[in-house]
Amino acid sequence: MERCIHADLAEAGLDEAGRGCLAGPVVAAAVILPPDFDIAGLNDSKQLTARKREALRVRIEAEADWCVAMASPQEIDEINILQASLLAMRRALRGLRQRPGHIAVDGNRWRDCGVPFTTVVKGDGRYAHIAAASILAKTHRDEYMRRLAEEFPQYGWAKNKGYPTREHRLAVRRYGVTPYHRLTFNHESGQLELF
């Protein structure tokens, strides 16, 4: 794994979590790692155990310049999941203490925001700062969904985090949707689609 694309700049890694969910926000993180940050163990959050993600989260939050932001289910329904993901990433970027000289975005889409950028497909497995953003986005979103699960335990969000599992779809069929569900997502079919 490489540390970043431009070592001579304060470069922010950006990633999101929760795009494919039926419920909950899409959460994004922006991270600028200090030059001396030990990148050992960083990887795409989906490749790490929950325990490893939490341990890395503590290190990242203690040592890096970072911000986590979200776009609500209502915003997702209003502007679509792609635009909501980009909105959450821009919010996270604005929350950093320092303005980055370059942005590295996981994926293949970004809208110019006045800072030079590079999009990197599967960047969370290639660059440490994007991996760190992936870890923060995932751990913060999982924590948020566990809190929502206390209010709505019947949907299994403590376990499925709002993703379209069989259990979650059956609960929607039985109990209906909550204010945290994305209404433009198809809750019935075996596929996740937009209407």
Tokens found for residue 31 = 């991270």
Structure tokens at 172: 């929607």
Q: Which residue has the higher pLDDT, 194 or 78?
A: 78
Q: What is the pLDDT of residue 187?
A: 52
Mean of the per-residue pLDDT values of the chain: 91
157 touches 68 (CB < 8 A): no
Report long-range pairs for 143-151 (Cβ below 8 Å, ≥24 apart): 144/24, 144/25, 144/27, 144/70, 145/23, 145/24, 148/23, 148/24, 148/180
For residues 31 and 103, what is the distance between their CA atoms, to the nearest angstrom? 10
pLDDT score of 191 more than 70? no
Q: Count of CB atoms within 10 A of residue 46's CB?
A: 11
Residue 168 in this model has a pLDDT that exceeds 70: yes
pLDDT of residue 43: 85
Is pLDDT at 193 greater than 70 in this prediction?
A: no
- Write out pLDDT tens, residues 170-187: 999 999 999 999 988 765
pTM metric for this prediction: 0.90
Which has the minimum average pLDDT: 39-53, 56-70, 119-133? 39-53
Question: What does the alpha-carbon distance between residue 58 and residue 173 come to, in Å, rounded to a whole number?
Answer: 38
Task: Report whether pLDDT(2) > 70.
Answer: yes
